[in-house]
Amino acid sequence: MKPAAFEYHAPATAEEAVTLLADLGEEAKVIAGGQSLMPMLALRLAVFDHLVDLRRVTELRGIEISGDTVRIGAGTTHAEVGRSEEVRRAVPLLSRATPHIGHFQIRNRGTIGGAIAHADAAAEYPVVALTLDAEIEALSPRGPRTIPAADFFTGMWTTALEADEIVTAIVFPARHGRCGYAIEEFTRRSGDFAMAGAVVAVRLDADSRIDHCAVGLFGLAPTPLRATTTEAGLIGRSIHEVDIEEIGRSATTGLNSVTTDVHGSADYRRRVGAAMVARAWRRAVEEASND
């Protein structure tokens, strides 16, 4: 199939883009890398009268290190994020998640802002943003605003963005202290979306007690998730006192919205998710211990 007819717009600035969105209303859709939207349009799973293409908006690209934060422009491609030594040093979890995204052709065109705004619960960048307490910068005709990742993902493929807003950047806290990071996911084939996955960030004090930790889950529910109860129970404990398998079970206990589909039942996904948490925790703690 081919997409339904639409009018194409290519603004040169972010201000021009949001003005177009405000003027065109609900019949307009933003396109960035197009790696998610174009297949949906081609299959006519989505139909819009207007497409607002952000590829010419150069101000949305780039990686900036400032103090304790790393700001990545929404138009920066997955491949650029993956190649960046600055990202590898300052936000290792983001760097390690990048190779799991689709195939290299997708990473060459897809953008971090597009992935965050698309909000696929089985995708890697949304759960990394949530786990690292990133902040999403957005722009509308009313001006800029900042949305914590914890408030950004509101449902299946839905976010806190207004219809006339675009993501302009994602701001991540930079690594500091004795930290370890890991991502684990289970897929049917390389490049597929994860059936279940986990990301872990952990920081240890000088006595190898857990000073901070974050456990994110993806592929299990309509949105990426944080295992906040599990996290709270680990703070202050020695890494030698915790049962790694129990961490996995705890992180996936009580999830009532786990997806059941042709690839697996909800119970199966919970078991896989628990195994992914345990694997990621083991790797993250090992890295932090050797830091």
Domain-wise residue ranges, the chain: 7-52, 63-173, 178-289
Return all residues near 78 (Cβ < 8 A) that are at least 6 apart. Answer: 98, 101, 106, 107, 108, 110, 111, 112, 115, 125
Q: From 220, 224, 230, 281, select the one nearest 255 (Cα to Cα).
A: 220
Q: In this predicted model, what pLDDT tens digit does every residue of 68-108 receive, in sequence order?
A: 999 999 999 999 999 999 999 999 999 999 999 998 899 99
Topology classification of domain 7-52: 3.30.43
Confidence band, pLDDT 50/70/90 cuts, at residue 152: very high
Confidence band, pLDDT 50/70/90 cuts, at residue 254: confident
Topology classification of domain 63-173: 3.30.465
What DSSP letter does each residue of 36-48 carry, written as one string?
A: THHHHHHTTSS--
Domain 178-289 CATH (choose: 1.10.10.60, 3.40.47.10, 1.20.1740.10, 3.30.390.50): 3.30.390.50
- b vs e for 154-172, b when ≥16 Cβ sit within 10 Å of the residue's Cβ? eeeeebebeebbbbbbbbb
Confidence band, pLDDT 50/70/90 cuts, at residue 148: very high
Listed range (158-162, 221-225, 256-260) with the worst mean pLDDT: 256-260
Whether pTM exceeds 0.85: yes
